[in-house]
Amino acid sequence: MQAFQLCAFADEADSAIGGQIKALTENGIPYIELRGLETGSAIALSDRGARELKKQLDNAGIAVWSMGSPIGKIGITDPLAPHIEQFRRTLEIGAILGAQCVRMFSFYMPKNDPDRARYRNEVLLRLTRLVEEAEGSGILLCHENEKGIYGEKAPECLDLMKHVPGMRAVFDPANFVQSGQDTLEAWECLAPYVEYLHIKDALPDGKVVAPGKGVGNVAEIVARFGAQGGEILSIEPHLAIFAGLSQLEREQRSIREDVYPSKRAAFDVAVHALKVLIGIDAEQKGV
C-alpha cells in the first residue's frame, strides 16, 4: 500500500499548542493542519506569534501542511473586500509557518433561494480572485466540499476545478455524506483534482463516526487515493465538541461527544481507526 503521511487538526485534541504538539507526537503524526489555538484562530496571529509558533513546531519535528482557514465561509452576497484582507493575512501567516496549502471554501448559498446556479458566476469570480491573490506565494489553494456552500456536491466541485485554474481539492467523505452525495461517485468525478484527503466519516443521518465506521467509503477512497500517488491524509475527527466548533459550523451537526471522555480521547480514537484502516500498527509511532 502507498506510504501515507499523516496530518491532523490537532485543535480537536487540545486548544493549547502544547497539548496539540503532545497529541501529534504521541500519535506519530508529523504534519498539522493548523486552525485553532488557545488565543483564537491561527490566522489572527501576529508575525512574532507566528514565528514563535514555528519554533515550537520545528523543535517538535512537526511541519504545517495546511492553514485550516475559514476563507470562503461567508455568504455569497456578503461583501468580499474584508474577506480579501483576511485572506491576504492568511497567506502571510502561512508563509511564516511554511504552510504548503490553504484550505478554503466556496461561499454559503442563501437558504431562501433554491436556485443555486444563479450564484455560479459570482462564486467563480470570487474564487478566481483568491487564486490571483495567492499567485507567487508558493501556497496552494485547496477547496473543501461542505454542506451549504456552492461546492457541496460533486458536480459543483467539478465545475469549480474545471473553471478555476490553480485551485485543487480537499476531499472530505463525511461532508459529502451529510450533503446526500455518494462518496464513490464523487471520487470518480474529482480524483484527478484531489490534493489531499480529510479523514472523517459519517452515518446516513449525518452523525460523525470514527474513520471506516460510517458510509463514507473511507477505506476504498483512501486506497484509490494511494493508488494514484496521493500521500497526505489529514485527520479531522469531529468526534467530540472542541473549542470553536460552533463558530466553524453554520448548521449544528450531531456529534457523538457522549461516547468519549475527553477531546484527546476522541482524537486518539480517530487516529487509531485510521491506522487500522491503512494497516499501521496502533502502537507504531509514525508512518
Q: Nearest 5°: phi and psi at 22?
A: -60, -45
Is position 227 within any domain? yes
**Res. 147: pLDDT tops 60:** yes
pLDDT of residue 2: 63
Is position 251 within any domain? yes
pLDDT of residue 284: 46
Residue 49 buriedness (CB in 10 A; 0-12 / 13-18 / 19+) = middle
Range of weakest confidence among 39-48, 60-69, 232-241: 232-241
**Res. 124: pLDDT tops 80:** yes
pLDDT of residue 113: 86
Which CATH number covers residue 163?
3.20.20.150
Mean pLDDT value of segment 180-192: 98
Render pLDDT for 205-216 as a digit per residue (tens, 0 to 9): 999 999 999 999
Is position 284 within any domain? no
**Res. 129: pLDDT tops 60:** yes
Render pLDDT for 25-53 as a digit per residue (tens, 0 to 9): 999 999 999 999 999 999 999 999 999 99
Render pLDDT for 74-94 as a digit per residue (tens, 0 to 9): 999 999 999 999 999 999 999
Q: Nearest 5°: phi and psi at 31?
A: -125, 150
Is position 287 within any domain? no
**In the chain, how many domains are there?**
1
pLDDT of residue 258: 47
pLDDT of residue 260: 80
Is position 158 within any domain? yes
Mean pLDDT value of segment 160-181: 98
Is position 283 within any domain? no
The parent domain of residue 160 ranges over: 5-278
Mean pLDDT value of segment 88-101: 98
pLDDT of residue 259: 66
Render pLDDT for 244-286 as a digit per residue (tens, 0 to 9): 555 555 544 444 444 688 899 999 999 999 999 999 865 444 4
Mean pLDDT value of segment 172-193: 98
Is position 285 within any domain? no
The share of the chain scoring above pLDDT 70, in percent, equals 90
Is position 271 within any domain? yes
pLDDT of residue 114: 83
Mean pLDDT value of segment 163-179: 97
